[in-house]
Structure 1
Amino acid sequence: MRELVMDTETTGFEPSEGHRIVEIGVVELVNLMPTGNTYHQYINPERPMPKEAFEVHGLGDDFLRDKPVFKHIVQDFLAFIGDDRLVIHNASFDMRFINAELGWLNLPPLPNDRAFDTLALARKKFPGSPASLDALCRRFAIDNSSRTLHGALLDSEILAEVYLELLGGQQPDFGLSSSSGSASANQSRQPLPKRPAPLPPRLTDAESAAHAAFVQGLGDGAIWRKYGG
């Protein structure tokens, strides 16, 4: 199964206010394993980069000025993601911007149900706990020390690690399909050594007598009588 872990960086929070995408990063997973195949593109937003956005992303007008506009990269982007599932943290935000950009070019939107929201999954698994990407990195001991600024490809790579942890670790099948996993499973079925001496009973004489009286009252068909309990 192919999945695309994706992140976007933007000039602001609302495309309805004219804000645009300035960076897209995508990491490819196949059967929950990173393939090393990525998509990364800076984009000229055709508008000034607000100071607050520059402070978060480190992307200024001078840097973005010679980058391609969205309409010049859209076909390569769509070809890379194909029809496969998108894995996004706070998916509604990124999907809103991508579909706004597509709409401005009179292209069909991406269906929202293509996006799997890791933020929603984290909140479901850890209700009441912080669910930001940084908070999840701390929870799963994922090194995000290089994340001094938000960057789409770096955040996608980190999110891919978080996603695998949210699914139960980097080997969600517990390795049972691999040869090493089969050996481990066979080892786990080896009989345990017997105790050299049995543990002393923890029931008192009074408790044993009460249990015997209880079983006696159940009649001859009691399961405890059948198995000598």
Structure 2
Amino acid sequence: MGVESFLQYMRDLYGKVNSSVLHATSSGSNSQQIAFMRQLQKDLKVEVASRLPLSNLKAVVFDIETTGFLPDKGDQIISIGAVKVEGCEILDEQFYTLVNADVEIPREISRLTGIETENLLDAPPLSDVLVQFFEFIKDDTLVAHHSSHEKSFMQSACWKSFKTPFKHRIVDTSFVFKIVEPKQRILTLEEWCEFSDIPVIDRHHALGDAKLTAILWCQYLQRVQQLGCRTLQDIYERLALR
């Protein structure tokens, strides 16, 4: 599950994780995972990245597939895919897993994603997946297309699994789209890819969509820098003036 290596990362990064939390988490029970995740969220510093140069900003571009659109009505995450990016370069580091949501997947979702209920039976539970995912992203900035969907489900998942808030920053690709192409009213991922001459491959697969989003992010991040934005803070300030 990667908990021990995650703990070592936390020791190296923060140097102040409470020793009782570390000891408790290492034994692996759900209550101990809760204590660990609460400490992680407490120590997470989300503002540092806003001042870093975009040219070497470390980001994790991710996507989720879900049983629906309303986590507060019981819809669940069924897969997570992610790729790492540094500046405008897509790295070889990838993350993908199915999630045992312990629910029946609606037929229309199976047709869209190709994921059947039986595919999830041997997948890890949500709490394990979240620990694995946080180990993968560490303190990198998250990026997503139409990030409100990802954010709402991650908030619900963290609270459901660990009774802790989700504090990672998620940067929406629309931020850079609005600066580079202010007159465009394109919404969907495939439409942005077609507009940007990017072949649409593995659509509605979490890792496939993460890869498409990463290509878009790198392309438009380069263009937004050409327009004078040097940091995420510059992007936010430029958007505020629109």
> What TM-score does the superposition give when structure 2 sets the normalisation length?
0.65
Bigger radius of gyration among the two = 1
| Distance in structure 2 (CA, Å) of the matches to 1:123 and 1:33 | 21
Alignment of 1:167 onto 2:221? yes
Pair 119,56 (structure 1): closer, same or farther in 2 beyond 3 Å: farther
Q: Is the 8 A contact 2:126 2:161 kept in 1?
A: no
| Distance in structure 1 (CA, Å) of the matches to 2:137 and 2:215 | 19
Pick one of 201, 204, 208 that aligns with 1:154: 208
Alignment of 1:129 onto 2:215? no
- Report the counterpart of residue 151 of structure 2 in structure 1: 95
CA deviation profile, 1:32-84 (whole Å, cap 9, x unmatched): 21110011111111111011111111101111122111112221111111121
Pick one of 99, 102, 109 that aligns with 1:46: 102
| Distance in structure 1 (CA, Å) of the matches to 2:158 and 2:86 | 26
Q: Is the 8 A contact 1:122 1:131 kept in 2?
A: no
Higher helix share: 2
Structure 1 unmatched ranges of 5 or more: 174-229
CA RMSD of aligned residues (A): 2.1
| Distance in structure 1 (CA, Å) of the matches to 2:98 and 2:177 | 29
Q: Is the 8 A contact 1:123 1:129 kept in 2?
A: no
| Distance in structure 2 (CA, Å) of the matches to 1:172 and 1:120 | 13
Runs of 4 or more above 2 Å deviation: 106-112, 119-129
CA deviation profile, 1:13-37 (whole Å, cap 9, x unmatched): 0001101100001100122211100
Query: 1:101 Cα deviation (Å)?
Result: 0.8
Among all aligned residue pairs of Structure 1 and Structure 2, give the percentage whose two residues are the same amino acid.
25
| Distance in structure 2 (CA, Å) of the matches to 1:129 and 1:64 | 37
Equivalenced residues, count: 170
> What TM-score does the superposition give when structure 1 sets the normalisation length?
0.68
Query: 1:126 Cα deviation (Å)?
Result: 3.7
Q: Is the 8 A contact 1:90 1:120 kept in 2?
A: no
Structure 2 unmatched ranges of 5 or more: 1-56, 227-242
Higher relative contact order (CA 8 A, sep 6+): 2
Query: 1:128 Cα deviation (Å)?
Result: 4.5
| Distance in structure 2 (CA, Å) of the matches to 1:36 and 1:85 | 17
